[in-house]
A and B are shown apart, each in its own frame.
Chain A
């Protein structure tokens, strides 16, 4: 079955560490997105990519980085510059002007 796989499901980060969240899709979608969700809040856009080797900053890109070397993969790195990284991270993909297909999310906690 086609879908989006995010890993790991839970991730713990120490102060000063960079961590990378994985996102893989087999839907053949061109566009991929990373959103952050904080408790009781909606989704805020971190980065998005419409084609391979191209991506744009969203509304809250500071402290994050991405790459899009393959159509299927869009990993997100949370750098030490992100001062409040504890959140639920969601990866999504879409084809054209349609709704998103989301992954199951990664919950990141700073320890």
Chain B
């Protein structure tokens, strides 16, 4: 059974204080790993897809990296508007195409 574990559950940072969020996963074979951002009361917004170990993707202050067992979402010099819940999800090569398993998320709060 596919599993996704995100840590920490909650993270509080001062504006400009860089940090990382972790996503550990267990799949029989990775088709893709996805990061989403979710604001309160809204649907998640797609951020990145990573397909193979060693791959990196960047968008503004966010950088996602992937190893064979985990992914990190690095946040450099965060701003208050980066406050949100960040969700990680995986797709397994041995399940029907497109079906994702999600972690419980990390809620990030950035204080000015």
Chain A residues packing against B (C-beta within 8 Å): 4, 6, 31, 33, 35, 40-45, 48, 50, 56, 58, 90, 92, 94, 96-105, 107
Contacts and interface: CB of A to CB of B under 8 A. Distances in A.
What bracket does the count of chain B residues touching chain A fall in? 20 to 34
B104 A41 contact: yes
Contact of A90 (B32, B43, B97, B103): B43
Given A41-B104, A48-B99, A97 B44 contact: no
Contact of B87 (A33, A43, A96, A97): A43
Consensus secondary structure, chain A interface:
strand
A44 B101 CA distance: 8
Contacts of A48: 96, 98-99
Given A42-B102, A50-B97, A100 B42 contact: no
Given A98-B49, A102-B45, A104-B43, A40 B98 contact: no
A101 B105 CA distance: 18
Contacts of B102: 35, 42-44
A11 to B, nearest CB: 14
B72 interface: no
